[in-house]
Every structure is written in structure tokens, then in C-alpha cells.
Amino acid sequence: MTEFDEDGLPPLDPNFADQFVRDVRRPACQLYLISPLDVSGAFPERLKRALGAGPVAAFQLRVKGVDQHEAARLGEPLRRICADADVAFIVNDDVSLAKRLDADGVHLGQDDGDPREARSVLGPQVQIGVTCHDSRHLAMEAGEAGADYVAFGAFYPTTTKETRHHPDPSILSWWSTMFELPSVAIGGITPANAAPLVKAGADFLAVSNAVWGGDEEAAVKAFAQILI
């Protein structure tokens, strides 16, 4: 009798990631930076240094515990820095803040609203990402709702946020094989442990502490060596 996982799907073979071969028509994996919670003070200069150190596809503003007026004040100079560097500026969780900042996109957690509603507010050109944890079902639902990318994780232990879901890299391989929609790998990713996720089929690596917890220029350069 076939066993099914909590998504109601046959379980993935963990060896699938080892056997996976990336479709040559798919772009190479890219770097997706997520901000620390504190983006005040000298952070804008740190962001400039990071974006100047190597290829970065996107930057996500993730601030907590401040009102929208303050978040917008902090976010506006970062949006301009990203625009100057031709890097997508994404706002975490908050559709109205994304609209206020004229962001390039918004990233939604499972409790942050429906991609369809975000699309109706932000328009057709804005990138909408959805956190899908370790769930193929949630990822397929997000795709059907019009998401532009899905995020899986946490793949490794992380102190950036509390995590309860720890997918196997094979979910990236399965997704890449089945769908054209890009996937983002997130959770504790560093230059030292990123390679298996790239090999498994991640389209983006979302990283935070690995960059902002030390020398941001050196970290971005280290990631660039893995993503070439």
C-alpha cells in the first residue's frame, strides 16, 4: 500500500535531489538578500557595499515592531539603493507598505493574505512570493493563486526566525522538474552549505545572517563563487 505524506502526496525519494539535473533552459541560481530586523543607522551603506560586491537579484525589507510610517521612512532609501543597482526591492508581509513604497514585490507568509488580493492591490507587474514551508500542496496552491515564486524552508538551522518546517532538498528538485515557477530556498543558508541546494534545483538562495552577521562584501563574493 502506498503511503502518503501530510500533503496527501506520495513521499519524495530523498535520492531524487542527488539524481536531479537542472534544465539548461532554466536560469542559474541567484542570490536573494533578506534584511536584518534593524535597518537603521549605517545599514544603507552596508546594503550598497553588498550590492556592489557581486550579483544580487533581490532584496527583501523585513522589519518588525515599527509602525508603517517608520517602516516606510526606513525603507525608502533602501528602495532607491536597490533601484540604482537594478535589484528587485521586495517588502515582507505587508501589501499596503509595498504599495506605499512602490516596491517591486511583496513576500507573503501563509497568514499574510491571498496572492490574488495582493495582485488586485499592487497590479500585474509586481512580483508576489509565498512562503510554502515544506509543503508541495501549499506551493501548488500559491502557483494557482498567481504567485511569481514559492519559498521552501528552513533547510538548515537558523536564528533569523523561529522555524518548524525542515524540508529535504528533494522538494526543490521535484518542483523544478514539475513547474516553471521559480523556487526560493531559505533557512540558515551560508556559503559553506549552499551548494547542495543549488544542485537540487533552487532558483534563488534567500540569505540574511550569513551576509549581515559579518562582512557583507566578503559574504556576497563567497556566494557568487557558488552560483557561477
Q: What global pTM score does this model have?
A: 0.94
The model's confidence at residue 172, banded by pLDDT at 50, 70 and 90, is: very high
Query: What digits encode the pLDDT tens for the residues 118-170?
Result: 999 999 999 999 999 999 999 999 999 999 999 999 999 877 666 676 899 99
- CA pair distance 113, 109, nearest whole angstrom: 8
Tell me the average pLDDT of the chain: 94
Query: What digits encode the pLDDT tens for the residues 94-103?
Result: 999 999 999 9
| Residue 1: pLDDT over 70 | no
Considering only CA atoms, which of 201, 195, 203 is closest in space to residue 226? 195
Query: What digits encode the pLDDT tens for the residues 7-19?
Result: 678 888 878 888 8
Query: Count of CB atoms within 10 A of residue 57's CB?
Result: 19
Whether 151 contacts 131, CB under 8 Å: yes
